[in-house]
């Protein structure tokens, strides 16, 4: 709950405590899951070196256990870290691996998350056509599986693509659609996206 609602100061010590308990009991599965959450938490709070290290540890345990779902999740997180630290080639390779695994094991929720992350990567790399296509794929899949958070993520991605292309009207419309969903489900992303919308409308 803390992790999903954005209360990161509360989530961090809880996860650290859980990780210590799992290590005391030599529970590899519990360690891998907690490391994965902790890695994503560190990613969200901007501690990219620690996020990469933690997700890499989780990835190693998942692979030892043959847990392909966990492996794909860790790879998706690592792809985001590499994007945010400027390693776009490394991010693309890692995300392709994650997408391939999710498709192999038929986990559509994981697939839509990776498609959105790949769309973001393409946008920041300057390939707006491919970015829009990936976010559109993500949007259609999110709606098919009724994943509201992923739907909002895809809409926000499409809005940012439109803004980068100079289409402010479409950008505002997509961002507002995303914001409505985030606010309705109480997502942690809502305040930051509201700031984006306010900044955009102030410039119009």
What's the CATH number where 159 sits?
A: 1.25.40.10
Walk along the chain (204 residues) in steps of 10 and give the mean pLDDT of each run.
60 84 87 93 93 97 97 98 98 98 98 98 98 98 98 98 97 98 94 95 76
Q: Are residues 114 and 131 in the same domain?
A: yes
Which residue among 64, 88, 106 closes a domain?
A: 106
Q: Are residues 96 and 119 in the same domain?
A: no
Residue 157: name the closest of 120, 198, 199, 130 by CA: 120
Q: Are residues 74 and 127 in the same domain?
A: no
Q: What is the pLDDT of residue 204?
A: 61
Which residue among 80, 106, 132 closes a domain?
A: 106
Give dist(CA 50, CA 163) in Å, integer: 32
Which residue among 106, 136, 159 closes a domain?
A: 106
Q: What is the pLDDT of residue 8?
A: 72
Q: What is the pLDDT of residue 3?
A: 52
Q: Are residues 95 and 185 in the same domain?
A: no
Q: Are residues 95 and 126 in the same domain?
A: no
Q: Are residues 117 and 169 in the same domain?
A: yes
Q: Are residues 163 and 74 in the same domain?
A: no
Q: What is the pTM of this model?
A: 0.92
**φ, ψ of residue 62 in degrees (nearest 5):** -55, -45
Q: What is the pLDDT of residue 18?
A: 87
Number of domains in the chain: 2
> Could you list the residue range(s) of the whole structural domain that residue 97 is in?
1-106
Give dist(CA 113, CA 24) in Å, integer: 33
- What pLDDT, in 10s, does the model give residues 71-121? 999 999 999 999 999 999 999 999 999 999 999 999 999 999 999 999 999
Cβ-contact 128, 119 below 8 angstroms:
no
Cβ-contact 157, 138 below 8 angstroms:
yes
């Amino acid at each position: 709950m803390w992790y999903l609602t954005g209360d990161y100061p509360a989530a961090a010590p809880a996860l650290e405590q859980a990780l210590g308990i799992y290590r005391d009991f030599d529970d590899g599965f519990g360690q891998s899951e907690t490391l994965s959450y902790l890695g994503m938490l560190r990613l969200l709070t901007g501690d990219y070196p620690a996020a990469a290290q933690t997700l890499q540890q989780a990835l190693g345990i998942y692979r030892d256990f043959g847990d392909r779902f966990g492996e794909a999740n860790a790879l998706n997180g690592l792809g985001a870290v590499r994007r945010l630290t400027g390693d776009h080639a490394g991010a693309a390779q890692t995300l392709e691996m994650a997408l391939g695994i999710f498709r192999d094991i038929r986990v559509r929720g994981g697939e839509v998350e990776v498609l959105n992350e790949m769309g973001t990567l393409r946008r920041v790399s300057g390939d707006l056509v491919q970015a829009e296509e990936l976010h559109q794929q993500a949007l259609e899949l999110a709606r098919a599986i009724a994943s509201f958070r992923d739907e909002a993520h895809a809409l926000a991605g499409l809005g940012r693509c439109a803004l980068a292309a100079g289409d402010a009207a479409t950008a505002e419309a997509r961002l507002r659609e995303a914001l409505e969903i985030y606010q309705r489900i109480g997502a942690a992303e809502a305040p930051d996206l509201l700031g984006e919308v306010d900044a955009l409308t102030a410039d119009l």
